[in-house]
């Protein structure tokens, strides 16, 4: 059985991502002075980036594999209508049900309806960024159905009413002591910050709840069109429990999560685990093809796949199509000097880091998130890390260009850059501006040779760091001197 697109109730359609915070500058300022956050970033994020590099070096030709993965994704996106139909056909043939949701409201409503029809009161969930995108937990709770996160990080966030700040390490912003206090409050036990003891508390609590749940919700790492299967990767075993233990399994995916065939899967499994955590493979990779067949011991009685658009077809149709290749591995976050400094909360939406700086304005509009395309030094680390070779810096520059074209950038800034561009195009104005800068900046120089505070509009530079005063001689003067010395030597 296949259900078509469901209409949203009037006034409730929302084609966007939920936004938690919007004051990027204030949040970035706060986060970069947060010593606990900085320690967490050094402990987890930086180490994961190093592990990724080591794990990729084990492959005979990691760069060729990344190229291949990018090409497979591009091919799938170019023929998405064909592969979606093929996926639907193959899932239906195996007794599963495919539903299409225009937006997050429709996706949530479909899941609530399935839960209500099957009399499910408790829904166990494996980690799923797309369910964060739809705010599924809120929709289930509103309908009187209890959602329970079973990934350890997501469980901690659920009991603390917090949001993930990383795509694969949702609770990276909290340390063991903080988690100890959260669990002491929730389980009403003695405080401990021993990671094993904390994990054991959650394990014991969650284990028996899998037996009580009628419905399991999972995300989808990859959907294989050729076989009508969905692939769910996890490290804790909870994902496999969610897809096999309850009577009903609902898998929720963004419509870009497709790959054409089973032969393509190893390419992505090899890259996903290495890029996300430096592992060769995730501990559990479950391939689910429909519901339990007669004679089979495991698996759900009903299998539903919800394919959600939520603004993706608009991105697919435009020049930012390649951003839909993302497999949500988090490698670009781990490699990004800005993310490491400001953490995930500052980005204000469910998708943080370099890919979030692209996706959030693409989904929600540039006006609402005008700082995000600038939350990058354009160093290129994200592009180098990306397993599907999304050229994130290129797209960030394109978004900046869009801001100027659409006059979202403030008038004063546009005028300054116009003058700057004019000055750069004329030798004498360039030299004149250099002399003026040198005189001005030397006047601001402290005794140690550093400038502590620049005046507006350049004061953003010195909010978090000092600025070096200009050298006595600039490059042109040094070069001129060098050439003169050379000529002297030659003429001897």
Residues that bind ligand SF4 (CB under 6 A): 167, 275, 326-332, 355, 385-388, 390
Residue 393 near residue 383 (C-beta atoms within 8 A): yes
- Rounded to the nearest whole angstrom, what is the least distance from the CB of residue 320 to ligand SF4 in the complex? 12
- Rounded to the nearest whole angstrom, what is the least distance from the CB of residue 323 to ligand SF4 in the complex? 8
- Rounded to the nearest whole angstrom, what is the least distance from the CB of residue 169 to ligand SF4 in the complex? 12
Determine the Cα–Cα distance for residues 433 and 126; give it in Å rounded to an integer: 58
Nearer to ligand SF4, 66 or 99 (CB): 66
Cβ neighbours, 10 Å, residue 267:
19
Token pair recorded at residue 406: 């659409």
Strand 222-224 relative to strand 229-234, pairing = antiparallel
- Rounded to the nearest whole angstrom, what is the least distance from the CB of residue 256 to ligand SF4 in the complex? 11
DSSP secondary structure letter of residue 285: E
Token pair recorded at residue 321: 């199509």
Determine the Cα–Cα distance for residues 218 and 303; give it in Å rounded to an integer: 11
Nearer to ligand SF4, 288 or 390 (CB): 390
- Rounded to the nearest whole angstrom, what is the least distance from the CB of residue 344 to ligand SF4 in the complex? 12
SS3 content of the chain, % helix, strand, coil (to 5): 55, 10, 35
Helix (H) or strand (E) segment spanning residue 29: helix 24-32
- Rounded to the nearest whole angstrom, what is the least distance from the CB of residue 272 to ligand SF4 in the complex? 9
Nearer to ligand SF4, 109 or 369 (CB): 369
- Rounded to the nearest whole angstrom, what is the least distance from the CB of residue 389 to ligand SF4 in the complex? 8
Determine the Cα–Cα distance for residues 173 and 346; give it in Å rounded to an integer: 12
Nearer to ligand SF4, 243 or 385 (CB): 385
Query: Helix (H, G, I), strand (E, B), or coil: what is residue 232?
Result: strand
Nearer to ligand SF4, 329 or 362 (CB): 329
Token pair recorded at residue 400: 């900046």
From residue 485, how far is each of 443, 456, 476, 477, 490 by CA, in Å? 31, 41, 14, 12, 9
- Rounded to the nearest whole angstrom, what is the least distance from the CB of residue 370 to ligand SF4 in the complex? 21
- Rounded to the nearest whole angstrom, what is the least distance from the CB of residue 366 to ligand SF4 in the complex? 19
Nearer to ligand SF4, 110 or 220 (CB): 220
Nearer to ligand SF4, 134 or 275 (CB): 275
Nearer to ligand SF4, 152 or 326 (CB): 326
Give the closest residue to 45 by CA, choosing from 287, 342, 268: 342
- Rounded to the nearest whole angstrom, what is the least distance from the CB of residue 331 to ligand SF4 in the complex? 4
Concatenated DSSP letters of 151-197: SHHHHHHHHTT---SSSS-TTTT--HHHHHHHHHHHHT------HHH
- Rounded to the nearest whole angstrom, what is the least distance from the CB of residue 29 to ligand SF4 in the complex? 25
- Rounded to the nearest whole angstrom, what is the least distance from the CB of residue 48 to ligand SF4 in the complex? 12
Nearer to ligand SF4, 98 or 327 (CB): 327
Nearer to ligand SF4, 96 or 343 (CB): 343
Determine the Cα–Cα distance for residues 261 and 124; give it in Å rounded to an integer: 29
Determine the Cα–Cα distance for residues 408 and 45; give it in Å rounded to an integer: 33
Determine the Cα–Cα distance for residues 125 and 238; give it in Å rounded to an integer: 8
Residue 87 near residue 98 (C-beta atoms within 8 A): yes
Nearer to ligand SF4, 63 or 142 (CB): 63
Radius of gyration of the chain (CA): 26
Nearer to ligand SF4, 56 or 385 (CB): 385
Residue 366 near residue 406 (C-beta atoms within 8 A): yes
Whether the bond between 457 and the residue before it is cis, its omega within 30 degrees of 0, is yes
Question: Tokens 């003169």 identify what position?
Answer: 484
From residue 444, how far is each of 432, 437, 450, 489 by CA, in Å? 19, 11, 9, 39
């Amino acid at each position: 059985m296949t259900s078509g697109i469901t209409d949203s109730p009037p006034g409730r359609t929302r084609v966007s991502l939920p936004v938690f915070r919007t004051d990027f500058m204030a949040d970035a300022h706060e986060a970069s002075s947060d010593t606990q956050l900085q320690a967490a970033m050094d402990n987890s994020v930086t180490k994961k980036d190093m592990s990724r590099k080591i794990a990729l070096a084990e492959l005979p030709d990691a760069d060729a594999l990344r190229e291949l993965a990018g090409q497979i994704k591009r091919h799938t996106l170019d023929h998405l209508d064909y592969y979606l139909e093929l996926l639907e056909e193959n899932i239906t043939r195996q007794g599963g049900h495919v539903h299409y949701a225009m937006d997050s409201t429709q996706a949530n409503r479909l899941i609530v309806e399935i839960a209500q029809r099957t009399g499910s009161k408790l829904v166990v969930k494996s980690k799923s960024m797309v369910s964060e995108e739809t705010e599924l937990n809120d929709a289930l709770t509103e309908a009187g159905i209890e959602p329970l996160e079973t990934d350890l990080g997501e469980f901690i966030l659920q009991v603390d009413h917090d949001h993930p700040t990383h795509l694969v390490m949702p609770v990276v912003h909290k340390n063991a002591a903080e988690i100890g206090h959260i669990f002491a409050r929730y389980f009403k036990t003695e405080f401990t910050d021993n990671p094993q003891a904390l994990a054991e508390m959650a394990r014991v609590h969650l284990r028996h709840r899998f037996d009580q749940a009628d419905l399991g919700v999972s995300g989808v790492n990859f959907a294989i069109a050729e076989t009508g299967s969905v692939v769910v990767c996890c490290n804790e075993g909870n994902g496999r429990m969610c897809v096999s233990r309850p009577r009903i399994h609902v898998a929720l995916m963004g419509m870009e999560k497709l790959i054409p065939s089973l032969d393509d899967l190893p390419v992505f499994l090899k890259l996903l685990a290495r890029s996300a955590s430096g592992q060769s493979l995730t501990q559990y990779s479950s391939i689910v093809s429909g519901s339990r067949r007669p004679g089979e011991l495991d698996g759900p009685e009903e299998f539903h796949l919800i394919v959600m658009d939520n603004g993706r077809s608009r991105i697919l149709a435009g020049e930012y199509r390649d951003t839909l290749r993302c497999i949500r591995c988090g490698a670009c976050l781990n490699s990004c000097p800005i993310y490491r400094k400001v953490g995930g909360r500052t980005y204000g939406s469910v998708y943080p880091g370099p890919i979030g700086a692209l996706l959030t304005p693409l989904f929600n509009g540039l006006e609402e998130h005008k700082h995000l395309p600038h939350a990058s030094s354009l160093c290129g680390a994200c592009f180098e890390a990306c397993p599907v070779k999304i050229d994130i810096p290129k797209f960030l520059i394109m978004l900046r260009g869009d801001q100027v074209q659409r006059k979202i950038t403030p008038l004063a800034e546009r005028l300054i850059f116009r003058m700057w561009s004019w000055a750069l195009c004329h030798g004498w104005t360039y030299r004149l501006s250099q002399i003026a800068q040198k005189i001005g900046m030397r006047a601001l120089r402290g005794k140690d040779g550093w400038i502590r505070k620049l005046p507006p509009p350049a004061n953003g530079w010195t909010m978090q760091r000092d600025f070096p005063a200009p050298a006595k001689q600039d490059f042109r003067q040094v070069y001129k001197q060098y050439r003169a010395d050379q000529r002297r030597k030659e003429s001897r």
